[in-house]
Amino acid sequence: MTIDDLVDNFEFLDNWEDRYRLLIDMGRELPEFPDDERTEDNRVEGCTSNVWLIHGVEPGSPSRLTFRADSDAFIVKGLIAIILAAYSGRTPEEIRNTDIAGLFSRLGLEQHLTPSRRNGFFAMVERIHEIAASEAA
């Protein structure tokens, strides 16, 4: 799913309850996350819920980063699906240049998520940016 697809899907829905259900459905569609990767090293700090994030590197010139993540909270799994759509399969430069705050706003998330969920969302983004910077070096 592309960022434009995400925005179109969210804009198609008239109310937050429908968008909330879409977010949860998106989280349910995440690929399986290996139990042995649910470690402290893979846990994202700054999230109220447990969130685990792993990455891989697809060789090429430039290389692309892939991400897999999971959470023990349904709404957070939906937020993960948004983050993965925005970042997975992108180059470190594309990751740095993605306007995730703008996407967050376009989807209407800033108005309907608690501050702790918002902080958790951006903690995941920060971790991905750190990985991208490390892989670009």
**E strands within 23-137?**
51-58, 64-71
Quick count: other Cβ atoms within 10 Å of Cβ 17? 10
pLDDT value for 117 = 87
Question: Catalytic annotation on 117?
Answer: no
Dihedrals φ, ψ of 20, to 5°? Answer: -60, -45
Is the pLDDT reported for residue 9 higher than 90? no
Per-residue model confidence (pLDDT) at position 47? 78
* pLDDT per position as a tens digit, 34-89: 999 999 999 999 878 999 999 999 988 889 999 999 999 999 999 999 999 999 99
**Average pLDDT for residues 94-98, to the nearest whole number?**
94
Q: What is the mean pLDDT of the chain?
A: 90
- Give the architecture (CATH level 2) of 3-136: Alpha-Beta Complex (3.90)
Eight-class DSSP state of 36? G
C-alpha–C-alpha distance, residues 72 and 60, integer Å? 34
The confidence score (pLDDT) of residue 16 equals 84
Catalytic member of 47, 81, 82, 113: 47
What is the maximum alpha-carbon separation in the chain? 44
The helix-helix angle for 74-87 and 16-28 (nearest 10°) equals: 80
0.75 surpassed by pTM: yes
